């Protein structure tokens, strides 16, 4: 298979479907060039296969021959030769992975210039400043990216040159200044790299291509992929394209545009452009941009042509698009198009409106598929409130939401502050790809430069981070920033509003906004898609949480942890009284008081969930969790002595202490030793059921026995529930099931299913027991290293491991279904709210998932996505590629 394809190559399939081979950028350039025949500068794509081969064994042997052949073809198309001292062809070399990774890998412009061809460029353009500016930019990019020279070696002379000539705009530097910068840059390269900048353009091209291939494994690219869940094995494509110059003269320019507003979803094109500039100037935020609408004043014909192309592209792709363009001496060129990143609010509005847009006509399933879990997360971003919020500065509202935090000025300081548990806001003149780890760690970002498509804005929107950019009044210093007379030092608290662009000194109040109408529309369509396939319940242990879960669309409670009711300040002493009881009468008295308070809790929950199923898990943790730590009591005994009651607690804590509590006396095992405990809980629950029936309610309860590992064990526990129910004459429609949370329970699911009315997969404990991992001990200390070294595909506590826990889930379902009775099977715990895990659970045939109330909307959407994927025959697995 070839390693290189020209943009205008006629593929058997539409190029935009070949992103895995051509990369996203290359696929879309080929789509514009070969299918839509739009004005695209000629070029070619080195496919992702070449990157994978390079990673495995170095530069592919056949690549030199193919590269030479395609360079020759490009020279014929352009009518110029690379390195020609009379009229040189210049090219750009850019990365282009399957999934968009803005700013994470490297780009080199103006490749092909050298000491001879720069003079030719000056002659053919009649502009010495332009020619040497282009050469200086190549030297700085190539020196930094290919030859490993520190950026400061180029930035400091550049800033000094502007200061010496008293200009802010680099386009106003004199030819003499640019020539001197070229000399300075070459000297810096020779001093730092101990070899000169290569004058042979073909050597330049080989070095640039190799640098882009290498950048796939650069630190910032790896960090971005890990954050976005992108496979490290995909590799990047490399695009080599004839240069067009937006910085040729004042009849030239460059810009970035969106077919719709990426922040609000409004159906209007927007973007930024600069006159006499190259594309990197727009996204880097080094100059103040103009809005796209102003292009009509400078270039009316090209503005009209661009809008027509944007309409055509959006109708072709049936989505909002992000595109890059350049105007060179009044001629419009399209340099890139891709599906645009958008905020959650914008994604919802676009998805709903595109179902009625005659040029697009999304189906409801397609609209639901356009919404990601991150989009819904962003809808609940906090905002600033208060009547006395006086902004000290205002910038561009680049990414919605608000943040309050301590000011930091470097990415490393942001990471350090976040590691200490502090909320931090990263403040910079402008961000660059090296800041990505700081952006990830920060609660928000503020820059004094840049536009709505600058690096900071794009990355912040993609990650749902509040961002204010281009706040020109903010003067960023080394360890402080100033706005007029107001000085904010490192560590001071500020508040930013990424929805309004306001910057406020001090800590404002944050509140969660109301979701837009499209939020409910998309979720209602999601519910229609998944109805009868995969239900969504919530984990809730009290009335307010149950009410909140129902408001978020939960179809019942999948897990009510009754032990949480015991931890209230007024109830813990009663639990301890029960543990310390030394006579049956004293234990019965304590259990009766616990029954009374649990009855009240159950009544609140059943009222909030009236008519919906409520699964109540009987007491699960070991009793020592309700007692003080032995070490704490020993310390008190040594320093000040213990009271008689404390001494009793100490003895009880020693008696109930276990070497391995997770595998000790808990769940049904504890009830075997203290059978009155489960009887009390069942009586409290059924008393609440009776009260709700008398009040005209429709209680629907399910009693779950935790940690059973055999049919005999479950039958014993079931008998306690049945006995209590018969005494209270409440037996109709009472379901009694178990939580499957040990490998053995999964393997004997057929035996358990003969006696249980339902199963709930307890994947948290099932993961611990399958891997032999103690979650509290390994997740923070060991898991990152295991994932980083690919010893595990991912953290199994976040997404179900398909080959480990997933096999047990499938085994459990298959064996349960093989029993004579078909019982409902659900899953609770954190995996129940993880989209990747939900996709797996749908494929495994589970009936419902259960998660925290705030994750219910995410689970509703993810369940719909899983059903859509199954209908389309796509893999619905936890570890599939994005």
pLDDT in tens, 607-634: 999 999 999 999 998 888 888 888 888 8
Rounded Cα distance between 30 and 10, Å, is 9
Q: Among 828, 831, 851, 865, which one carries the catalytic annotation?
A: 828
> Exposed e or buried b for every residue in 599-616, given b needs 16+ CB within 10 A?
bebbbbbbbbbbebbbbb
Instruction: Determine the average pLDDT of the residues in 98-110.
Output: 83
Q: Is the pLDDT of residue 520 over 70?
A: yes
Q: Is the pLDDT of residue 150 over 90?
A: yes
Question: Between the CA of residue 620 and those of 599, 663, 744, 802, 861, what are the distances in Å?
Answer: 18, 12, 18, 26, 31
- Give the mean pLDDT of 405-413: 94
Whether residue 496 contacts residue 444, with contact meaning beta carbons closer than 8 Å, is answered with: yes
Output the pLDDT for position 852: 85
Is residue 851 part of the annotated active site? The answer reads no
Write the pLDDT tens digit of every residue in 212-260: 999 999 888 888 887 777 888 999 999 999 999 888 888 999 999 999 9
425 contact partners, CB below 8 Å, separation of at least 6: 403, 404, 405, 406, 407, 408, 442, 443, 444, 445, 446, 494, 496
Q: Residue 472 — very low, low, confident or very high, per pLDDT cuts 50/70/90?
A: confident
Instruction: Output the pLDDT for position 29.
Output: 97
> What's the whole-number mean pLDDT along residues 91-115?
88
pLDDT reported for residue 876: 41
CB burial of residue 863 (10 Å; 0-12, 13-18, 19+): buried
As a whole-number percent, the residues of the chain with pLDDT over 90 amount to 65
CA distance 686 to 675: 17
Tell me what the pLDDT averaged over the chain comes to.
90
Q: Looking at residues 170-187, what average pLDDT do you find?
A: 93
Cα angle for residues 298, 300, 301 (degrees, 5° grid): 130
- Catalytic residue, chosen from 185, 381, 455, 865, is 455
pLDDT per residue over 331-385, tens digit each?
A: 999 999 999 989 889 999 999 999 999 999 999 999 999 999 889 977 877 778 7
């Amino acid at each position: 298979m070839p390693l290189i394809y020209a943009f205008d190559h006629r593929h058997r399939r539409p190029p935009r479907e070949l992103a895995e081979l051509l990369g996203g950028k290359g696929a879309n350039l080929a789509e514009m060039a070969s299918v839509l025949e739009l004005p695209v500068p000629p070029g070619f794509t080195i496919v992702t296969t070449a990157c994978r081969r390079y990673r495995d064994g170095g530069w592919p042997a056949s690549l030199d021959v193919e590269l030479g052949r395609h360079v020759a073809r490009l020279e014929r198309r352009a009518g110029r030769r690379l390195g020609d001292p009379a009229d040189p062809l210049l090219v750009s070399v850019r990365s282009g992975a399957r999934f968009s990774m803005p700013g994470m890998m490297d780009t080199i412009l103006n490749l092909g210039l050298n000491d001879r061809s720069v003079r030719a460029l000056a002659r053919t353009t009649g502009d010495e400043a332009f020619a040497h500016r282009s050469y200086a930019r190549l030297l700085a990019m190539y020196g930094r990216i290919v030859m490993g020279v520190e950026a400061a070696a180029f930035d400091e002379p550049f800033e000094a040159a502007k200061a010496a000539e008293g200009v802010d705009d680099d386009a106003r530097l004199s030819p003499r200044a640019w020539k001197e910068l070229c000399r300075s840059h070459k000297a810096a390269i020779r001093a730092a790299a101990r070899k000169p900048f290569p004058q042979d353009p073909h050597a330049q091209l080989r070095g640039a291509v190799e640098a882009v291939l290498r950048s796939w494994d650069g630190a910032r690219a790896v960090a971005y992929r890990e954050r976005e869940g992108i496979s490290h094995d995909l590799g990047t494509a490399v695009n080599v394209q004839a240069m067009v110059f937006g910085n040729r003269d004042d009849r030239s320019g460059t810009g970035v545009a969106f077919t719709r507003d990426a922040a609000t979803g409004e159906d209007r094109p927007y973007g930024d452009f600069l006159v006499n500039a190259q594309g990197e100037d727009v996204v880097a935020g080094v100059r103040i941009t103009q809005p796209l609408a102003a292009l009509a004043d400078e270039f009316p014909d090209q503005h009209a042509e661009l809008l027509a192309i944007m309409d055509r592209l959006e109708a072709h792709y049936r989505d909002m698009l992000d595109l890059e363009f350049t105007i060179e001496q009044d001629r419009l060129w399209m340099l890139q198009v891709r599906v645009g990143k958008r905020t959650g609010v914008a994604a919802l509005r676009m998805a709903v409106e595109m179902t009625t847009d005659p040029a697009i006509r999304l189906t409801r399933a397609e609209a639901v598929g356009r919404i990601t879990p991150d989009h819904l997360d962003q809808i609940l971003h906090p905002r600033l409130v208060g009547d006395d919020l006086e902004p000290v500065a205002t910038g561009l509202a680049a990414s919605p939401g608000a943040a309050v935090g301590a000011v930091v000025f470097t990415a490393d300081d942001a990471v350090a502050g976040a590691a200490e548990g502090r909320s931090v806001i990263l403040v910079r003149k402008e961000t660059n790809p090296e800041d990505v780890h700081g952006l990830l760690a920060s609660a928000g970002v503020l820059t004094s430069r840049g536009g709505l498509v600058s690096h900071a804005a794009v990355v912040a929107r993609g990650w749902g981070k509040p961002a204010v950019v281009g706040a020109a009044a903010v003067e960023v210093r080394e360890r402080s920033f100033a706005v007029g007379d107001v000085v904010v030092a490192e560590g001071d608290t500020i508040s930013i509003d990424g929805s309004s662009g306001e910057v406020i000194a001090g800590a404002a109040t944050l509140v969660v906004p109301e979701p837009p109408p499209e939020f409910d529309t998309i979720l209602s369509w999601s519910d229609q898609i998944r109805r009868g396939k995969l239900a969504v319940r919530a984990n809730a242990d009290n009335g307010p949480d149950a009410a909140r879960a129902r408001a978020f669309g939960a179809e019942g409670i999948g897990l009510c942890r009754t032990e949480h009711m015991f931890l209230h300040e007024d109830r813990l002493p009663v639990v301890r009284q029960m543990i310390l009881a030394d006579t049956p009468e004293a234990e019965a008295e304590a259990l009766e008081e616990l029954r009374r308070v649990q009855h009240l809790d159950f009544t609140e929950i059943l009222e909030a969930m009236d008519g919906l199923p409520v699964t109540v898990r009987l007491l699960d943790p070991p009793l020592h969790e309700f007692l003080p730590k032995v070490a704490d009591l020993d310390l008190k005994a040594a320093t000040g002595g213990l009271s008689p009651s404390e001494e009793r607690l100490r003895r009880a804590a020693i008696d109930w202490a276990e070497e391995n509590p997770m595998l000790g006396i808990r769940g049904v095992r504890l009830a075997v030793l203290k059978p009155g405990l489960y009887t009390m809980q069942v009586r409290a629950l059924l008393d609440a059921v009776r009260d709700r029936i008398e009040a005209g309610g429709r209680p629907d309860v399910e009693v779950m026995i935790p940690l059973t590992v055999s049919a005999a064990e479950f039958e014993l526990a079931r008998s306690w529930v049945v006995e209590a129910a018969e005494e209270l004459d409440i037996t109709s429609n009472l379901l009694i099931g178990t939580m499957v949370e040990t490998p053995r329970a999964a393997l004997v699911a057929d035996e358990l299913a003969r006696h249980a009315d339902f199963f709930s997969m307890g994947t948290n404990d099932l993961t611990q027991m399958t891997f032999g991992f103690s979650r509290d001990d390994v997740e923070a200390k060991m898991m990152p290293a295991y994932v980083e070294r690919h010893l595990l595909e991912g953290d199994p506590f976040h997404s179900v491991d398909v080959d480990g826990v997933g096999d047990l889930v499938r085994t459990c379902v298959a064996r349960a279904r093989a029993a004579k009775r078909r019982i409902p099977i659900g899953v609770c715990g954190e995996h129940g709210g993880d989209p990747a895990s939900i996709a797996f659970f749908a494929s495994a045939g589970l009936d419902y998932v259960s998660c925290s109330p705030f994750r219910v909307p995410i689970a509703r959407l993810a369940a719909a996505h899983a059903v859509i994927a199954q209908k389309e025959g796509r893999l619905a697995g936890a570890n599939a590629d994005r």
